[in-house]
Amino acid sequence: MNLQDNNEGQINRQKFVLMAAGGIGLLYAAAIGYPVYRYLESPIEKAEGATQVTEVTLPDAARLPLGAVLMFKFGSRPAMLIHHKDDTWVALDAVCTHLGCTVQYETARNRIFCACHGGVYDARTGANVSGPPPKPLKRLYPRVTDSGVIVSRTQQLS
Ligand code: FES
């Protein structure tokens, strides 16, 4: 074994170490990148699913007691139908505008609350009232018919 063989052996070991480090780096990137990709992709998929639905019929919702809420799916998104104590109906998208948690209607306080970070919304308008949510909840448009409560994406002119 001469000096040149020794140098080539050292260079091959260095190449191997670099390739192994590169492979491990790729595995780390995949392990971190895939969940991030799924997190970012998920709202887009949900939005696409939601845009395909323009109207949902809730056959039994007309019997909802005063002051009660019905959670339902509008396309792939959670939504809520509130039957207020004054017999008015409000339907809202139930995805918090902060980081996407599902919000809940609190009957006793007549407000919509997001338990993830304490966001509060107005139960009649969906307006963001306090906490981190940057925007109101998206409004949907309910109307009571003989076949149930029909919730639409846009306001229907009668
Ligand atoms: S996700 Fe609702 S307040 Fe943060």
89 with 142: CB under 8 angstroms? yes
* Residue 116 Cβ < 6 Å to ligand 1: yes
Is the minimum distance from the CB of 96 to ligand 1 under 6 angstroms?
yes
Six-digit token string for 130: 């306090």
Ligand 1 pocket residue status of 115, Cβ below 6 Å: no
Of ligand 1's listed atoms, the one at least distance from the Cα of 103 is 2
Pairing of strands 89-93, 139-145: antiparallel
Which residues, at least 6 apart from 120, have a Cβ–Cβ distance to it below 8 Å?
Answer: 111, 112, 113, 114, 128, 129, 130, 131
- Please list the pLDDT of the chain residue by residue as tens digits (158 residues): 566 666 677 767 777 667 776 666 656 565 655 555 555 556 655 555 556 899 999 999 999 999 999 999 999 999 999 999 999 999 999 999 999 999 999 999 999 999 999 999 999 999 999 999 999 999 999 999 999 999 999 987 76
Whole-prediction pTM value? 0.69
